[in-house]
Structure 1
Amino acid sequence: TRLDEPFSLAGRLPVPAGDYRVREWSVSASSSTNRPIMLTGEAEVVETYGGRLATLGASARLARDSHLALTMGFTRHRVELPRGSFVADVASARGVYAFSSRLVASALVQRNSLDGRLVTNLRLNFIHHPGSDLFVVLNDERRDGVPRRVTGRDLAVKLTYLGRF
Protein backbone atom coordinates (compact mmCIF):
# COMPACT_ATOMS: atom_id res chain seq x y z
CA THR A 1 0.00 0.00 0.00
CA ARG A 2 1.31 3.43 -0.91
CA LEU A 3 0.58 6.31 1.42
CA ASP A 4 1.11 9.59 -0.46
CA GLU A 5 0.38 11.92 2.45
CA PRO A 6 1.35 11.55 6.10
CA PHE A 7 -1.46 11.46 8.64
CA SER A 8 -2.05 11.15 12.36
CA LEU A 9 -3.67 7.95 13.61
CA ALA A 10 -6.38 8.76 16.17
CA GLY A 11 -4.88 12.24 16.42
CA ARG A 12 -1.99 10.74 18.40
CA LEU A 13 0.54 8.86 16.30
CA PRO A 14 2.13 10.31 13.17
CA VAL A 15 2.31 7.94 10.20
CA PRO A 16 4.74 9.11 7.52
CA ALA A 17 4.09 8.80 3.80
CA GLY A 18 5.66 5.76 2.17
CA ASP A 19 5.14 2.22 0.96
CA TYR A 20 3.69 -0.22 3.48
CA ARG A 21 3.05 -3.92 3.31
CA VAL A 22 -0.28 -5.00 4.78
CA ARG A 23 -0.93 -8.41 6.32
CA GLU A 24 -4.22 -9.15 8.01
CA TRP A 25 -5.58 -12.05 10.05
CA SER A 26 -9.04 -12.31 11.55
CA VAL A 27 -11.33 -14.83 13.17
CA SER A 28 -14.91 -14.51 14.38
CA ALA A 29 -17.52 -16.76 15.89
CA SER A 30 -21.13 -16.41 16.95
CA SER A 31 -23.90 -18.50 18.35
CA SER A 32 -27.23 -18.97 16.58
CA THR A 33 -29.31 -15.90 15.76
CA ASN A 34 -32.42 -18.06 16.31
CA ARG A 35 -31.83 -18.26 20.07
CA PRO A 36 -32.97 -15.68 22.65
CA ILE A 37 -29.33 -15.07 23.61
CA MET A 38 -26.66 -14.63 20.95
CA LEU A 39 -22.95 -14.34 21.71
CA THR A 40 -20.30 -13.12 19.29
CA GLY A 41 -16.55 -12.76 19.44
CA GLU A 42 -13.93 -11.54 17.02
CA ALA A 43 -10.21 -10.93 16.82
CA GLU A 44 -8.19 -9.18 14.13
CA VAL A 45 -4.52 -8.36 13.68
CA VAL A 46 -3.28 -6.04 10.95
CA GLU A 47 0.42 -5.49 10.34
CA THR A 48 0.95 -2.19 8.55
CA TYR A 49 2.60 1.24 8.92
CA GLY A 50 5.62 -0.59 10.33
CA GLY A 51 3.64 -1.86 13.32
CA ARG A 52 0.61 -3.78 14.47
CA LEU A 53 -3.05 -2.97 15.01
CA ALA A 54 -4.92 -5.58 17.05
CA THR A 55 -8.65 -5.67 17.82
CA LEU A 56 -10.49 -7.99 20.19
CA GLY A 57 -14.25 -7.74 20.66
CA ALA A 58 -17.23 -9.52 22.17
CA SER A 59 -20.95 -8.88 22.41
CA ALA A 60 -24.08 -10.43 23.85
CA ARG A 61 -27.57 -9.92 22.42
CA LEU A 62 -30.82 -10.69 24.20
CA ALA A 63 -33.94 -10.86 22.03
CA ARG A 64 -36.79 -11.80 24.34
CA ASP A 65 -39.37 -11.63 21.56
CA SER A 66 -39.88 -9.94 18.20
CA HIS A 67 -40.41 -6.56 19.91
CA LEU A 68 -37.34 -6.10 22.12
CA ALA A 69 -33.61 -6.62 21.53
CA LEU A 70 -30.79 -5.55 23.87
CA THR A 71 -27.09 -5.75 22.98
CA MET A 72 -23.98 -5.09 25.08
CA GLY A 73 -20.53 -5.03 23.50
CA PHE A 74 -16.90 -4.34 24.26
CA THR A 75 -13.99 -3.87 21.85
CA ARG A 76 -10.31 -3.28 22.64
CA HIS A 77 -8.04 -1.73 20.01
CA ARG A 78 -4.29 -1.94 20.64
CA VAL A 79 -2.02 0.01 18.29
CA GLU A 80 1.76 -0.38 18.34
CA LEU A 81 3.69 1.68 15.79
CA PRO A 82 7.34 2.76 15.62
CA ARG A 83 6.47 6.24 16.97
CA GLY A 84 4.31 5.11 19.89
CA SER A 85 1.34 3.06 20.97
CA PHE A 86 -2.11 3.40 22.51
CA VAL A 87 -5.08 1.35 23.64
CA ALA A 88 -8.69 2.34 22.96
CA ASP A 89 -11.57 0.55 24.64
CA VAL A 90 -15.08 1.02 23.25
CA ALA A 91 -18.07 -0.16 25.29
CA SER A 92 -21.56 -0.03 23.83
CA ALA A 93 -25.15 -0.74 24.75
CA ARG A 94 -28.00 -0.84 22.25
CA GLY A 95 -31.72 -1.29 22.68
CA VAL A 96 -34.36 -1.65 19.98
CA TYR A 97 -38.09 -1.79 20.64
CA ALA A 98 -40.69 -2.36 17.93
CA PHE A 99 -44.02 -0.99 19.07
CA SER A 100 -45.48 -2.33 15.83
CA SER A 101 -44.28 -3.13 12.33
CA ARG A 102 -44.60 0.61 11.58
CA LEU A 103 -43.05 2.21 14.69
CA VAL A 104 -39.56 1.36 16.01
CA ALA A 105 -37.47 3.13 18.66
CA SER A 106 -33.77 2.52 19.23
CA ALA A 107 -31.04 3.80 21.52
CA LEU A 108 -27.26 3.43 21.32
CA VAL A 109 -24.78 4.52 23.98
CA GLN A 110 -21.01 4.26 23.34
CA ARG A 111 -18.05 5.09 25.57
CA ASN A 112 -14.59 5.53 24.05
CA SER A 113 -11.71 5.44 26.54
CA LEU A 114 -9.19 6.97 24.16
CA ASP A 115 -10.76 10.40 23.96
CA GLY A 116 -13.19 10.18 26.89
CA ARG A 117 -16.29 10.50 24.73
CA LEU A 118 -19.75 9.28 25.68
CA VAL A 119 -22.09 9.32 22.68
CA THR A 120 -25.84 8.72 22.84
CA ASN A 121 -28.02 8.22 19.77
CA LEU A 122 -31.82 8.01 20.07
CA ARG A 123 -33.89 7.24 16.99
CA LEU A 124 -37.58 6.92 16.25
CA ASN A 125 -38.71 5.51 12.89
CA PHE A 126 -42.36 5.78 11.88
CA ILE A 127 -43.31 4.15 8.57
CA HIS A 128 -46.38 6.16 7.56
CA HIS A 129 -46.74 4.39 4.18
CA PRO A 130 -44.75 1.51 2.64
CA GLY A 131 -41.46 3.01 1.45
CA SER A 132 -42.13 6.28 3.30
CA ASP A 133 -40.70 7.12 6.72
CA LEU A 134 -40.51 9.78 9.38
CA PHE A 135 -37.18 9.63 11.25
CA VAL A 136 -36.49 11.61 14.40
CA VAL A 137 -32.88 11.34 15.62
CA LEU A 138 -31.26 12.90 18.69
CA ASN A 139 -27.47 12.71 19.10
CA ASP A 140 -25.68 13.78 22.27
CA GLU A 141 -21.90 13.80 22.81
CA ARG A 142 -20.14 14.43 26.10
CA ARG A 143 -16.51 14.42 27.27
CA ASP A 144 -15.01 13.27 30.53
CA GLY A 145 -15.02 15.75 33.36
CA VAL A 146 -17.07 16.60 36.40
CA PRO A 147 -19.73 17.20 35.37
CA ARG A 148 -19.46 15.71 31.89
CA ARG A 149 -19.55 18.59 29.48
CA VAL A 150 -21.74 18.51 26.39
CA THR A 151 -19.62 18.87 23.25
CA GLY A 152 -22.35 18.29 20.71
CA ARG A 153 -26.08 17.84 20.47
CA ASP A 154 -28.07 17.44 17.27
CA LEU A 155 -31.71 16.87 16.46
CA ALA A 156 -32.63 15.74 12.97
CA VAL A 157 -36.06 15.14 11.47
CA LYS A 158 -36.30 13.45 8.09
CA LEU A 159 -39.49 12.79 6.18
CA THR A 160 -39.45 10.62 3.08
CA TYR A 161 -42.43 10.02 0.86
CA LEU A 162 -42.49 7.48 -1.93
CA GLY A 163 -44.62 8.74 -4.79
CA ARG A 164 -46.08 6.26 -7.22
CA PHE A 165 -46.71 7.33 -10.80
Structure 2
Amino acid sequence: MPIATGGYGFSDVSLSYGFGAQRRASGTIRVQAGQFYDGTIRSITIGPGSTFSSARIAVMQRLAVEPTFSITRVERPNSSFTTRLARARVDYGFTPLMFASGLVQWNSADRAFSTNLRFRWEYAPGSEVFLVYTDERDIRDDRYATPTTVRGLKNRALVVKFSRMFRY
Protein backbone atom coordinates (compact mmCIF):
# COMPACT_ATOMS: atom_id res chain seq x y z
CA MET A 1 0.00 0.00 0.00
CA PRO A 2 1.46 3.41 -0.93
CA ILE A 3 2.42 5.96 1.68
CA ALA A 4 0.40 9.18 1.42
CA THR A 5 2.26 12.38 0.60
CA GLY A 6 2.73 14.92 3.34
CA GLY A 7 4.91 15.63 6.33
CA TYR A 8 5.80 12.93 8.80
CA GLY A 9 7.56 13.16 12.12
CA PHE A 10 9.74 10.27 13.19
CA SER A 11 10.73 9.49 16.72
CA ASP A 12 12.38 6.33 17.90
CA VAL A 13 14.45 4.92 20.66
CA SER A 14 17.35 2.52 20.38
CA LEU A 15 19.40 0.63 22.90
CA SER A 16 22.73 -0.96 22.10
CA TYR A 17 25.42 -2.87 23.88
CA GLY A 18 28.91 -3.10 22.45
CA PHE A 19 31.47 -5.79 23.14
CA GLY A 20 35.01 -4.41 23.34
CA ALA A 21 37.14 -4.37 20.20
CA GLN A 22 40.09 -5.67 22.20
CA ARG A 23 38.38 -9.05 22.57
CA ARG A 24 38.70 -11.98 20.18
CA ALA A 25 35.03 -11.51 19.31
CA SER A 26 33.58 -8.00 19.28
CA GLY A 27 30.47 -6.27 18.02
CA THR A 28 27.16 -4.74 19.04
CA ILE A 29 23.61 -5.83 19.76
CA ARG A 30 21.13 -3.07 18.90
CA VAL A 31 17.36 -2.89 19.44
CA GLN A 32 15.27 -0.09 17.91
CA ALA A 33 11.58 0.85 18.08
CA GLY A 34 9.73 3.89 16.81
CA GLN A 35 7.58 5.54 14.19
CA PHE A 36 7.74 4.81 10.46
CA TYR A 37 5.57 7.12 8.33
CA ASP A 38 2.00 6.21 9.37
CA GLY A 39 3.07 3.10 11.28
CA THR A 40 5.76 1.65 13.51
CA ILE A 41 9.14 0.00 13.06
CA ARG A 42 10.99 -2.43 15.31
CA SER A 43 14.38 -3.97 14.61
CA ILE A 44 17.17 -5.93 16.17
CA THR A 45 20.67 -6.06 14.73
CA ILE A 46 23.55 -8.24 15.83
CA GLY A 47 26.82 -7.21 14.27
CA PRO A 48 28.15 -3.78 13.47
CA GLY A 49 28.00 -1.06 16.07
CA SER A 50 27.99 1.76 13.52
CA THR A 51 29.10 2.52 10.00
CA PHE A 52 32.69 2.73 11.22
CA SER A 53 32.88 -0.41 13.33
CA SER A 54 31.84 -4.00 12.83
CA ALA A 55 31.37 -7.25 14.63
CA ARG A 56 34.58 -9.17 14.26
CA ILE A 57 35.69 -12.65 15.16
CA ALA A 58 39.42 -13.29 14.87
CA VAL A 59 39.61 -16.93 13.79
CA MET A 60 43.40 -16.81 13.37
CA GLN A 61 45.93 -14.01 13.32
CA ARG A 62 45.38 -13.38 9.59
CA LEU A 63 41.78 -14.59 9.24
CA ALA A 64 38.72 -12.73 10.51
CA VAL A 65 34.96 -13.05 10.03
CA GLU A 66 32.54 -10.13 10.36
CA PRO A 67 28.94 -11.43 10.67
CA THR A 68 25.76 -9.34 10.72
CA PHE A 69 22.15 -10.37 11.18
CA SER A 70 19.20 -8.00 11.23
CA ILE A 71 15.43 -8.40 11.50
CA THR A 72 13.15 -5.41 10.90
CA ARG A 73 9.35 -5.39 11.33
CA VAL A 74 7.25 -2.56 9.88
CA GLU A 75 3.55 -2.33 10.74
CA ARG A 76 1.22 0.11 8.98
CA PRO A 77 -2.56 0.51 9.24
CA ASN A 78 -3.33 -1.75 6.25
CA SER A 79 -0.13 -3.75 5.81
CA SER A 80 2.96 -5.05 7.52
CA PHE A 81 6.16 -6.79 6.54
CA THR A 82 9.33 -8.25 8.01
CA THR A 83 12.75 -8.11 6.38
CA ARG A 84 15.78 -10.15 7.27
CA LEU A 85 19.36 -9.44 6.30
CA ALA A 86 22.24 -11.84 6.84
CA ARG A 87 25.76 -10.85 5.87
CA ALA A 88 29.24 -12.24 6.46
CA ARG A 89 32.56 -10.75 5.47
CA VAL A 90 35.72 -12.84 5.54
CA ASP A 91 39.16 -11.19 5.42
CA TYR A 92 42.49 -12.92 5.00
CA GLY A 93 45.80 -11.09 5.03
CA PHE A 94 48.53 -12.97 3.19
CA THR A 95 51.06 -10.22 3.93
CA PRO A 96 50.72 -6.54 4.92
CA LEU A 97 50.70 -5.76 1.18
CA MET A 98 48.34 -8.52 -0.04
CA PHE A 99 44.88 -9.52 1.14
CA ALA A 100 41.68 -11.18 0.00
CA SER A 101 38.17 -10.55 1.27
CA GLY A 102 34.76 -11.94 0.54
CA LEU A 103 31.29 -10.64 1.32
CA VAL A 104 28.17 -12.78 1.06
CA GLN A 105 24.73 -11.33 1.72
CA TRP A 106 21.15 -12.54 1.77
CA ASN A 107 18.25 -10.07 1.78
CA SER A 108 14.69 -11.35 2.30
CA ALA A 109 13.07 -8.14 0.99
CA ASP A 110 14.77 -8.44 -2.40
CA ARG A 111 14.98 -12.22 -2.19
CA ALA A 112 18.53 -11.82 -3.35
CA PHE A 113 21.80 -13.53 -2.59
CA SER A 114 24.94 -11.64 -3.51
CA THR A 115 28.69 -12.19 -3.33
CA ASN A 116 31.63 -9.88 -3.69
CA LEU A 117 35.17 -11.27 -3.76
CA ARG A 118 38.16 -8.95 -3.76
CA PHE A 119 41.92 -9.44 -4.00
CA ARG A 120 44.42 -6.60 -3.51
CA TRP A 121 48.18 -6.72 -4.01
CA GLU A 122 50.53 -3.76 -3.62
CA TYR A 123 53.38 -5.01 -5.79
CA ALA A 124 55.45 -1.80 -5.43
CA PRO A 125 55.03 1.25 -3.18
CA GLY A 126 51.93 3.10 -4.42
CA SER A 127 51.26 0.54 -7.19
CA GLU A 128 48.44 -2.00 -6.89
CA VAL A 129 46.48 -4.72 -8.61
CA PHE A 130 42.82 -5.29 -7.70
CA LEU A 131 40.67 -8.21 -8.81
CA VAL A 132 36.97 -7.92 -7.92
CA TYR A 133 34.22 -10.42 -8.71
CA THR A 134 30.56 -9.58 -8.01
CA ASP A 135 27.54 -11.81 -8.41
CA GLU A 136 23.88 -11.26 -7.48
CA ARG A 137 21.12 -13.83 -7.81
CA ASP A 138 17.37 -13.75 -7.34
CA ILE A 139 16.34 -16.68 -5.16
CA ARG A 140 12.61 -16.02 -5.29
CA ASP A 141 10.34 -19.00 -4.85
CA ASP A 142 8.60 -19.81 -8.16
CA ARG A 143 5.27 -20.21 -6.36
CA TYR A 144 5.18 -16.45 -5.72
CA ALA A 145 6.62 -15.29 -9.05
CA THR A 146 4.70 -13.15 -11.52
CA PRO A 147 5.22 -13.28 -15.30
CA THR A 148 7.54 -10.27 -15.05
CA THR A 149 9.67 -11.69 -12.24
CA VAL A 150 13.35 -12.00 -13.07
CA ARG A 151 14.79 -15.15 -11.54
CA GLY A 152 18.32 -16.45 -11.46
CA LEU A 153 21.34 -14.33 -12.26
CA LYS A 154 20.69 -10.58 -11.90
CA ASN A 155 24.20 -9.16 -12.07
CA ARG A 156 27.74 -10.43 -12.59
CA ALA A 157 30.99 -8.53 -13.06
CA LEU A 158 34.72 -9.12 -13.04
CA VAL A 159 36.87 -6.02 -12.65
CA VAL A 160 40.64 -5.85 -12.94
CA LYS A 161 42.33 -2.63 -11.89
CA PHE A 162 46.02 -2.06 -12.37
CA SER A 163 47.74 1.09 -11.12
CA ARG A 164 51.37 2.08 -11.32
CA MET A 165 52.97 4.99 -9.52
CA PHE A 166 55.72 6.71 -11.45
CA ARG A 167 58.31 8.68 -9.52
CA TYR A 168 60.13 11.59 -11.17
* TM-score, scaled relative to structure 2: 0.78
Give the Cα–Cα distance (whole angstroms) in 1 for the partners of residues 74 and 117 of structure 2.
31
Structure number with the higher strand fraction is 1
2:112·2:140 contact (CA, 8 Å) conserved in 1?
A: no
Give the Cα–Cα distance (whole angstroms) in 2 for the partners of residues 137 and 46 of structure 1.
39
Give the Cα–Cα distance (whole angstroms) in 2 for the partners of residues 162 and 55 of structure 1.
46
Correspondence for 1:121 among 102, 116, 119 = 116
Residue in 1 that maps onto 2:66: 71
Give the Cα–Cα distance (whole angstroms) in 1 for the partners of residues 63 and 124 of structure 2.
23
Give the Cα–Cα distance (whole angstroms) in 1 for the partners of residues 134 and 166 of structure 2.
30
Correspondence for 2:139 among 130, 144, 148 = 144
Q: How many residue pairs align between the two structures?
A: 153
2:17·2:30 contact (CA, 8 Å) conserved in 1?
A: yes
1:20·1:49 contact (CA, 8 Å) conserved in 2?
A: yes
Asked if 1:29 corresponds to 2:17, the answer is yes
Give the Cα–Cα distance (whole angstroms) in 2 for the partners of residues 163 and 122 of structure 1.
28
Secondary structure class of the residue paired with 1:33: coil
* TM-score, scaled relative to structure 1: 0.80
Larger CA deviation: 135-144 vs 99-108: 135-144
1:134·1:158 contact (CA, 8 Å) conserved in 2?
A: yes
Larger CA deviation: 117-126 vs 27-36: 27-36
Asked if 1:107 corresponds to 2:95, the answer is no
Q: Which runs of 5+ in 1 are unaligned?
A: 1-12
Task: Return closer, same or farther for 1:17/1:27 CA change in 2, 3 Å cut-off.
Answer: same
Aligned residues: percent identity? 34
**Cα deviation 1:70-118 (Å, max 9, x = unaligned):** 1222100111123421100111122100001111100111111222211
